[in-house]
Each structure stands twice: as C-alpha cells, then as structure tokens.
Amino acid sequence: MAVQVHYDQDCKMSITGVECNCGCEHRVIDKDIYIGRGLIERIPGYIQRRGLGTHCVLVADDNTYRVAGEQVEKTLKAAGFDVVPCVIHRENDMLPDDLSCGEVLLSITRETEFLIAVGSGTVTDTTRINAERTHLPFVSVGTAPSMDGYASAVAPLLHRGLKIQRPAVCPEIIVCDLDVLATAPMHMIASGVGDVLGKYIAKADWQLGQIINGEPCCPVCVEMVTNAVNALVDNVDEIAQKTEKGMRILIEALLLAGVTIMIIDNTRAVASIEHNIAQYWEMILVQRGIEPPMHGASVGVSTLLVWPLFERFAKEDLSKLDLDAIRAKRISREKRERWMLHAYGEEGGRQIMRENPGDFLTWEEQERRIRTAQERFEEIKAVIAAMPPLEKIKQVMMTLNAEMTPEEEEIPEDLLRCSMHCGKDYRTRYTLFKLMDECGLLEDYLADYPYPFE
Ligand SMILES: [Zn+2]
Ligand SMILES: [Zn+2]
C-alpha cells in the first residue's frame, strides 16, 4: 500500500500505508504533529488533549517572540495556563550555547510541567536538551521551515565554543502554522529546501548500502521521503511565492524526514555524505571562530558538490578495475589513524575511530565489496539513474536564490578540500564515497581537491 499523509479537522497529521517488513525495527509514531493555518489559537487545546499540564516555560528569542511567541503566550494565559516566558535577548543571532541552555534551565522551577519552544533550530535545540535533562515533555512551535530538526531527538549545541551533538528528546507536540512559516525570510526557506534536496543523496547511499552490504533499507521510509522531496521539486514556484501550498509542501518534507527517524530510530533516510560534509564545515568553522552558514544552506551546497560524482560513477566500467593495483595502494592502519587525527583533530578523530571500529577494512572485506559492486553494477546504476537530473536540482536552488557554491558560503579552500576527502570517514554509514574509495577511484575523482595530507 502506498504511503499517504492525511490531516483531521484539528489539522493533526496521520500517515497510512506504513506497514512493512524490511528488517528494520519499526516504532509507532506517537507524537502529535499539526500543520495548518491559524493554529496558534488552537495550541491550548492540543496541549490539553495530550495532558501535559498547565505550568510551562515558553522559550523564544527576540525574533521568534515577536513573530509568534507573544501570541502563543497570550493564548495560553487566556486559556488559564501559567506561563513563564524565557525570551533570550542577544545583540546578534542567538546561539545554542552554554549561556542559552543555562537561561532556559534557570527559568524552570519545581512547578514547571512542560516546556514550549517557539522558534526554529536554535530555540528548539536549546529547549530540547533541557527537556531531556529535566525529564519534562516539550512542545515545539515552528517559526521557519529552515531545517529538518524539529522532530529530531538529537541536539546540536555549542559547548565552550565547540560543536557537540547530545542525545535529547523529540517534542510531544509539533505545531507548524503556515501563516507563521510564511513570514520567514527567503534565505531561511532556501535553507530548508537545501536540507530536503540532500535526501536524494541519502536515499541513493542507503540503497547502495543494501546492495553492497545487505543493510536493511526500509521502502516505507524511502517512499515517504522521496514523495516529499519530489513534491518540493515540482512546486518550487509555490515555495518561492510562500503560498499556503508551498509552505505546506516544504514543512511536510522537513517533518516527514523526522518521522522516518521516529520510525526506524536512525537518520539513514535523511542524512548521508552531504550532511557529513556540511557538518564538517560547521565544526571546523566554529573552531576557527567563524560563523558557519545555515545548516540547510550548507547541505544544499554539498549536495551539488557530490552529485556529479554519482553520475560519473554510473559511467564506470568496473570490470576494468585492477585489484592488485588497488591492493598495493591501500593505506596502512597507522596512516589511516594519522589521517583521521589530521582531519578531525586529536579528540574527534579518536572518538570517531572508537565508535566505528570496523571502518578500517581488511583486504578480504574490501575485495568482497569490489566484487559485489562488479556483480551488481546494473542495480547500482539503476539507483543512480533514479536520481533526478542535477540541472533540475540547480534550477530549484536558483529559483530560491539559494547559495550554490562553497565560495558563496565562504568555505575556505583548505576546509573544502579536506571535507571532500574526510566526509566519508565520519561514520560507518555506507556511502558512494566509501565505495569509490574501496574501488580505488576516489582520489582520481577528487583530483580537483588534492589530498591535504602527506
Ligand atoms: Zn539536515
Ligand atoms: Zn520498513
């Protein structure tokens, strides 16, 4: 049965057609997601329906408070809720750092029964980590369709100036009012679109993992994300004009990405090499004290960067691979270790190697993967052929005036080069980049990005 998204008269989302026996363990979606117009008024009812209590801390920054937070506060108070506002004031953009997290923590009292975040990435993540640490449920009211993290259970934060990821919790209720979303500036909307476009890469990499390593790949999650991203590509003009339809398609795509994470408890359907590269830029830029581009904007640019390599790989003749030459060029475990420390730093590099012990392959395993790729190359080509033409993706981004190149995002040359080589090493998750490397092709493909290492 095909996956379908429905809404009831309360604008609550439900999804049918998710029955599946793919081998991934499936969990029930037990969160309430609302998408529609004029929803702010209905938030008290949504909270009562879920029985979260009446005492809350409302988290916002100056901007999101003005856009929606103030109205949410008034509506809740009028309905008899006890609201402690925690509006975070900053000269520049609010960051999800120690100070912001601390401000939220100190606004929470023994009476607090739940938290409500009114904002996009930063406000939501700052609230999310506090919800996890205090075991309080939280409600997310989205203000911009700028990233796919609303339904996430991981909080990317800044701790003592370093980028960290902490396990946190998913909101019990997510409310996305389409009128509020349409007030978001175009660069935030373009960022959301960039984040969604990366799903084509994530999907192809997941299917490659299934072909090469027999990794379970959930057709329901794939279909859910594919339908959503296709709808987005087909309706980019609606998005550019911020129509109700356009905003719904974009936020649905961003939220459905999160729903797949709820279902299979991992981010396989939504993030792969394009996210690794974007996160690497962010991590290093933060270390250098430079403000990184928006998450989705980076994902959009890295998606454009890696896409041509998929097309090129599909044209390879793998029967011509010289296995002896590939074996002779393998790097030693010691050299790989030095490379990881060079790329990710002493602490980060060691942590990644500890968490992904199988990533240094024996020759036997590498050979098995090469031979599997040779035998099943028609299937691999079909996966790549199912991706839309790159020109179409570029067109979508141009329509939204999105940033298209690393130069436009001011990614330094050395960082760009390093990221193209080390993005694949961030985790075990299988990607075309890993396969190209295993087939001895990656360095040749990345000749424009000379290896930043001895
Ligand atoms: Zn993302
Ligand atoms: Zn499945």
Q: What is the pTM for the complete model shown?
A: 0.94
pLDDT at 454: 58
Residue 155's beta-bridge partner residues? 166
Going residue by residue through the chain, which has 454 residues, state the pLDDT in tens, using 9 for 90 and above: 689 999 999 999 999 998 898 988 899 889 999 999 999 999 999 999 999 999 999 999 999 999 999 999 999 999 999 999 999 999 988 999 999 999 999 999 999 999 999 999 999 999 999 999 999 999 999 999 999 989 888 899 999 888 888 999 999 999 999 999 999 999 999 999 999 999 999 999 999 999 999 999 999 999 999 999 999 999 999 999 999 999 999 999 999 999 999 899 889 999 999 999 999 999 999 889 899 999 999 999 999 999 999 999 999 999 999 999 999 999 999 999 999 999 999 888 998 899 888 889 999 999 999 999 999 999 999 999 999 999 999 999 999 999 999 999 999 999 999 999 999 999 889 999 999 999 999 999 999 887 777 5
Cα 24 to averaged position of ligand 2 atoms, centre (Å): 6
pLDDT at 165: 86
Cα 144 to averaged position of ligand 1 atoms, centre (Å): 14
CA atoms within 13 A on the CB side of 167: 3
d(CA 349, CA 451): 17
Cα 259 to averaged position of ligand 2 atoms, centre (Å): 13
pLDDT at 1: 66
Cα 201 to averaged position of ligand 2 atoms, centre (Å): 19
Selection from 280, 267, 219 nearest residue 429 by Cα: 267
Cα 288 to averaged position of ligand 2 atoms, centre (Å): 41
Residue type, 113: E
d(CA 318, CA 329): 17
Name the closest ligand to CA 276.
Answer: 1
Q: ∠ CA(254), CA(203), CA(27), 5° rounding?
A: 65
Selection from 209, 190, 229 nearest residue 388 by Cα: 229
d(CA 87, CA 108): 13
Cα 238 to averaged position of ligand 2 atoms, centre (Å): 31
Cα 21 to averaged position of ligand 2 atoms, centre (Å): 5
d(CA 442, CA 316): 12
Name the closest ligand to CA 263.
Answer: 2
Name the closest ligand to CA 264.
Answer: 2
Q: Which domains does the chain have, with CATH numbers?
A: 4-181 (3.40.50.1970), 191-217+268-401+408-445 (1.20.1090)
Name the closest ligand to CA 282.
Answer: 1
- Residue 141 three-state SS: strand
Cα 153 to averaged position of ligand 2 atoms, centre (Å): 20
* DSSP assigned state of 118: E
pLDDT at 449: 85
Name the closest ligand to CA 294.
Answer: 1
Name the closest ligand to CA 198.
Answer: 1
d(CA 185, CA 333): 48
Sign of the torsion angle spanned by Cα atoms 29, 30, 31, 34: positive
**Residue indicated by tokens 């994902």:** 299
Cα 66 to averaged position of ligand 1 atoms, centre (Å): 26
Name the closest ligand to CA 279.
Answer: 1
Cα 364 to averaged position of ligand 1 atoms, centre (Å): 35
pLDDT at 234: 97
DSSP secondary structure string for all residues of 345-405: HHHHHHHHHHH-GGGS--HHHHHHHHHHHHHTHHHHHHHHHTSPPHHHHHHHHHHTT---S
Cα 160 to averaged position of ligand 1 atoms, centre (Å): 23
**Residue indicated by tokens 């609230």:** 127
Name the closest ligand to CA 151.
Answer: 1
Cα 211 to averaged position of ligand 2 atoms, centre (Å): 16
Cα 209 to averaged position of ligand 1 atoms, centre (Å): 20
Count of other CB atoms within 10 angstroms of residue 319: 7
Name the closest ligand to CA 18.
Answer: 2
d(CA 174, CA 252): 12
Residue type, 338: R
